[in-house]
Structure 1
């Protein structure tokens, strides 16, 4: 395939609305290069003709000439229309309108020259392939080469070496050039309402717009993901806090239950102290009056009652002589003296005097009370 020279086509690329599709090979085919340049010039001339025709319509409207319409194909005035304008110029007293009507006639000559130039160029070019709705540049190129006798594979190979328009508009004129095994193509506006370059620009802007929208959506999604991650982290922190709080509550409840059980056991227990009667007196825990029962002393305090019996599970207290540092048990005094033997409790001393058993006959009376068992030999 050939690469068309930039220098020979730069002027056309800058002044006309068209799209040049260049082959990608290094060698150039002179015939295709020449035809391509003519196609570029024809397209440029066609664009100039359309522009001049539009300006001619504006001049006629400005001059108030509504009964003269140039030919829709050539954009030229007929001989009769030109004669009518010449008469108006002669009869027109307003010099501004005269000048404007004269511009119409002068511009008509330029349009005629452009038509002649365009006709000459098109006569030297192959007939363009007119794009119809649904046509693609690629498909039109393959069709052209298949008609030239090339196989499907050969046609695809040649078309793959040139730049092809992604999208076509109905009315585009597609020139196909094939010589010496080289394929080239040129797309001109023809009768389409949009130029190839403008269509490419619109498609590019559309793609860029979709890309920008996709990027924006992606960034938005990233922000949403970050927000969700932050929310997740916050929820996890809240869950961890709730779990810690739950653990603390369970621990507190367990402690409360334990405290409650301890308090309940304390309320249902007898708290007592067993000791040598003389030592208990010396320590001030009990007093021993001469003519009265033993009673609480000045050092009768809660902390000295280190032993207890839960009355919900038992009613018997056993005292051993060895525990109080005595060789034998001769007597056991119960303090306070309000507890009466054989009424509130029963005392049994073993035959060997080594143990004494106290059976609580009225357990309810002893609940949460403090009792001293003072032992003597």
Structure 2
């Protein structure tokens, strides 16, 4: 469960590592701070309960007790199931098996205590909103405040003061706290298969490193534009010059965006070279050991890899025998040898031996990498 109090999701993402244990800020309403702390405890208990339930399933499987199914909601055993297991323990002569069954009962006791603790905590908390597909944190917050009778303008102002998750997973539990004109919110995992922290981390991982640089450049240009606009208001006689300068900045920004797009394409592409094995060896691009796979040669350099495949839109490479001056294609070696056939890529040679098709399987592994396809007839 994650408390949201900061003004931007970017800050929330940066703080994800400590949000799980952070406390309410000093300016926060005491009532909201207390509810937030209880929500944190409830989330911790819920996570422990889920973990204990998973461990219980493993213990049941290890003990070979396939006929015992804990309650899907509470993860607890029924009284009948516990009695049956206790009877098995009494009658079982194998001490190891007895210990496994006893671990199941001990774990059930732990699960019961966690359920009791969780129920007590949730009894003191408001009922959370359950996120459905396409629900937004902002929309849920606004609906909550409107139901509380808060005018829309004031509701927007209150929501703007807390960090709002840009994306919710179905099943997330969204808590809303409102007291003395202050709004707070807390997102818990609930029935979702992923935690809010993990979801934010996944979203963060989708953003390539070069985007950070592009954003920084964009912010810098925006600051310059704002500065120029301010000068234009103060110095009317220089308005023509400022407009010209602003146009130049926009063009520069467009160029930076174009350069960034090229960099993004490079980072998402496979850079490769295709040639006959003998020629590649002669040029020093690869080496051919006697008792090992082909490997990079002394002339393995960036400028050698003049061909590229944008992996965002393409996954295959076609090699033509005629283009290599060969009568047929008998074999294609992939260098480096750490790429494994049928695991990282699939190689198909046509029946007439005129075309070899490389289909990339683990596409992410090939991103921004250099590969040699050495062909022999």
- TM-score, normalised to structure 2, is 0.52
Deviations 1:145-192 (A, max 9, x none): 011111111100000000110100011000000000000000000000
RMSD of aligned C-alpha atoms?
A: 3.1
> For the structure 1 residues 22 and 109, does the alpha-carbon distance in structure 2 shift closer, same or farther, using more than 3 Å as the test?
closer
Counterparts of 2:152 and 2:23 in 1: how far apart (Å)? 21
Paired residue for 2:62? Answer: 62
Paired residue for 1:178? Answer: 178
Paired residue for 2:111? Answer: 111
Equivalent residue pairs, number: 212
Counterparts of 1:93 and 1:14 in 2: how far apart (Å)? 49
1:133 deviates by: 0.6
- TM-score, normalised to structure 1, is 0.52
Deviations 1:182-219 (A, max 9, x none): 00000000000110000000001112368389987533
Paired residue for 1:51? Answer: 51
Paired residue for 2:129? Answer: 129
**146-155 or 208-217: bigger deviation:** 208-217
1:199 aligns with 2:202: no
Q: 2:177 touches 2:185 (CA, 8 Å); kept in 1? A: yes
Deviations 1:271-328 (A, max 9, x none): xxxxxxxxxxxxxxxxxxxxxxxxxxxxxxxxxxxxxxxxxxxxxxxxxxxxxxxxxx
Paired residue for 1:41? Answer: 41
1:77 aligns with 2:77: yes
Q: 2:23 touches 2:37 (CA, 8 Å); kept in 1? A: no
Gaps of 5+ in 1: 5-12, 228-377
1:90 deviates by: 1.0
Counterparts of 2:21 and 2:143 in 1: how far apart (Å)? 19
Pick aligned residue for 2:263 from 219, 237, 261: 219
Q: 2:136 touches 2:168 (CA, 8 Å); kept in 1? A: yes
SS at match of 1:167: coil
SS at match of 2:204: helix
Counterparts of 2:107 and 2:265 in 1: how far apart (Å)? 59
Q: 1:178 touches 1:184 (CA, 8 Å); kept in 2? A: yes
Q: 1:21 touches 1:164 (CA, 8 Å); kept in 2? A: no
Paired residue for 2:13? Answer: none
Paired residue for 2:120? Answer: 120
Q: Which runs of 4+ in 1 moved over 3 A?
A: 18-23, 212-217, 219-222
Paired residue for 2:232? Answer: none
1:27 deviates by: 1.6
When Rg is computed on C-alpha atoms for both structures, the one with the higher figure is 1
Gaps of 5+ in 2: 7-15, 215-256, 267-302, 304-377
Q: 2:171 touches 2:190 (CA, 8 Å); kept in 1? A: yes
> For the structure 1 residues 204 and 220, does the alpha-carbon distance in structure 2 shift closer, same or farther, using more than 3 Å as the test?
closer
1:85 deviates by: 0.3
Counterparts of 1:145 and 1:21 in 2: how far apart (Å)? 24
Deviations 1:215-244 (A, max 9, x none): 87533889xxxx9xxxxxxxxxxxxxxxxx
